[in-house]
Chains A and B, each alone.
Chain A
């Protein structure tokens, strides 16, 4: 126990993170379940409006700040970034441990707020509701997010320094696996964006506690200023949530089609382009917030620039399959699911970036559906792809293939049944964050709740068989998938110092001829 809580080994810290974010995922999932059950009926009989508002707020806060943002970077990134570049650990192992503690402390603060009575502002904390009107645990929750933010900043710093300083001999920038590129881009956003969120939360604190007029017009403040500050962080934050997933998909698609990723440099640079451009589009969340017409136009225009690098990635992944040797192993099924759902999420992003459409669909279920296609359909599918792909390396055990394939299918179907009806609901005009709603929306809500139950089963399955496999799974060889990354050149699970012999890199990433014996050439 003590050896775990004081460990400086990036692999063990990754496992600590994995346990932590999994707990938060199930907590957020429990809130989502209650939301969906409540929405079965239009009158809202299950819980009171106050409780409903707390449920969707705590669902959003938990899922965004305590699950999705740390998910891939802090677990898979922590475990594999050093291994993939041939390093013995991250640059600052103690700081790495500190960032886990910060996440736990932040999480406990938020949890305390939830148990003490909950918070009802929405995860977006819009002012002046959050600073003057809400009678709920705003400060404790904001403090929790503030502390967790430092965890995110420190992890980002650690990754950036590690990539710059700790690459193995021969591991040039353009030999780095694409997962490392995406972690690097993500870290840039974490380090540059998160401080703005921290400052914003401090300002909310000052106004709520000391009544210093910043956002509340009754105190001489400007309520829309908050939205600018909040989205200046939170739009880039959606890329904190999705770039790591894109990195995972690049790895998985390559290995399971045994081909180098088509357009490696384009995929790598599109990550960096997304990270940079992501900072210029926050105003697309404010099209109807009394922002000037011309500001609206500029932000709409710029938003389409961010869409292009994402499209480039989807095309390149698809082209990677061409004349490949395609395996249908579980990680690949999840990756296919990712591409499909991310494509739909991304394309509907074009809808909401178009001013004429967004005026109608903003703050409706259309937006809920859009961001769930990206965050759940995209990132969580990628996370699952990565978990299955690297599970043998992390634990030394194989998971049961049949069950795993089934879970990928169940999640894909359940997801679409849950969230596709919400696009229709949104265009019909069903506003988000509504506890009671007009009768005519009920059928679509019932479909969505039915889908959510399927989805819940899909998420519980891996939970069970992963734990099962820790004891009963077949022993994993060092390189079960015939992958090229350095992480596969050491034992499963890797020794404490990662490599018995310091690796030297002589090839570009994804050169499969180096890991196969006798081959049959195809294509």
Chain B
């Protein structure tokens, strides 16, 4: 006990924007609260009943007033709407050069994976000043990735990928909370975000993981799960070549097309029959239960590393497709 914080720290580019919107809302709210409270007090005292027999004149209402007090608040709320929507829009569009990190939630811990191969549990180290894009999924129930100092939150849902991003502006240590109730130890599914000076981060991350990068790890899985027996690098056999798949438009056997993003690759592995590539037979077995969500992410990262979409900017892991955009 003792400390009494009243306002959260601002540690991301979006945080001051959210707070400015808050100030606007607070101004409107305080104004109307004072107006209503003031009017009630004033009228109640000014027109208090002085005799049991008094009868006020009848006033039925006034159209002008009704219109005024509908239109003015409506105008004020439209500012709230558009301002809030524009922040939300920014929040849903990670910049193209964002640092990619993967998160998997499970009862009751956060598992975070860096492309270089570092794995963290309930801790995330990120560099200051650089946008970070998180692709997240859950192994069991719904969780929610919430960093109050960044003013961002996004649910982490089993069976799909969700994304969020933030650009830290201040080195330090910030709370990470699970914000969606997920069972017994929901309140212990918490951790820390460490925002580091870019140089410190480089040192921290350059060590790599004990078993190499995420894509290396995925490559090994690709072998051990025998994906490589069917998917040959030269495209021979009866299976599609996965080189250059990521970001490409895939023609499906039912005539429709789909962009090969993370979600599509995940689905191809776990529910291969959901979408069949045109010209191929539904021969691929499901890997549901044989590979964890983390394993799937490694495979996704491996397939991404097999080559960018022709014409995409060099530098490999640029997310060409943002799942939120559809």
Contacts and interface: CB of A to CB of B under 8 A. Distances in A.
A523 B48 contact: no
B278 interface: no
Contacts of B152: 359-360
B48 A437 contact: no
Contacts of B48: 326-328
Interface string A443-476: 1101000000000000000000000000000000
A380 B102 CA distance: 46
A311 to B, nearest CB: 5
A431 B86 CA distance: 25
B74 A134 contact: no
The DSSP consensus for interface residues of chain B is mixed
Interface size range of chain B in the complex: 35 or more
B160 A440 contact: no
Given A300-B85, A427-B8, A523-B57, A224 B179 contact: no
Contacts of A516: 53, 55
Contacts of B159: 217-218, 222-223
B83 A217 contact: no
B47 A325 contact: yes
Contacts, number: 304
Given A288-B144, A436-B187, A321 B43 contact: yes
Interface size range of chain A in the complex: 35 or more
B85 A339 contact: no
B158 A128 contact: yes
A261 B43 CA distance: 15
Contacts of B144: 288, 363
Interface in B116-139: none
Contacts of B85: 296-297, 300-301, 355-356
Contacts of B7: 427-428
Contact of B78 (A259, A304, A339): A304
B53 A263 contact: no
A521 interface: yes
Contact of B54 (A325, A356, A439): A325
B74 A431 contact: no
A487 interface: no
B324 A293 contact: yes
Contacts of B3: 439-440, 443
Interface stretch (B60-68, B200-208, B249-257, B302-310): B60-68
Contact of B8 (A129, A260, A428, A521): A428
Contacts of A429: 8, 146, 148-149, 175, 177
A258 interface: yes
B236 interface: no
A133 interface: yes
A350 B78 CA distance: 10
Interface stretch (B17-25, B211-219, B221-229): B17-25
Nearest to B20: A356
Contact of A296 (B40, B88, B148, B183): B88
Contacts of A314: 36
Interface stretch (B27-35, B238-246, B313-321): B27-35
Contact of B55 (A325, A327, A440): A325
Contact of B66 (A266, A440, A519, A523): A266
A446 B1 CA distance: 9
A443 B85 CA distance: 34
Contacts of A4: none
A50 interface: yes
Interface string A190-216: 000000000000000000000000001
Residue of B89, B107, B181, B324 with most partner-chain A CB within 10 A: B181
Given A321-B43, A364-B179, A443-B1, A315 B153 contact: no
Given A318-B39, A360-B153, 17 more contacts: A129-B141, A133-B107, A216-B158, A217-B160, A260-B59, A263-B66, A266-B61, A290-B160, A300-B84, A307-B73, A326-B49, A351-B29, A354-B21, A360-B152, A363-B179, A443-B1, A523-B56
12 contacts: A217-B157, A218-B159, A263-B61, A288-B153, A289-B155, A304-B77, A327-B48, A356-B84, A428-B7, A429-B149, A511-B58, A518-B53
Interface of B: 1-8, 17-18, 21-22, 25, 28-29, 32-33, 36-37, 39-40, 43-44, 47-51, 53-62, 65-66, 69-70, 73-74, 77-78, 80-81, 83-89, 91-92, 107, 140-142, 144, 146, 148-149, 151-155, 157-160, 162, 175, 177-188, 190, 324, 326
Shortest 7 CB-CB distances between A and B: which pairs? A217-B159, A429-B148, A356-B87, A354-B84, A355-B88, A263-B61, A321-B43
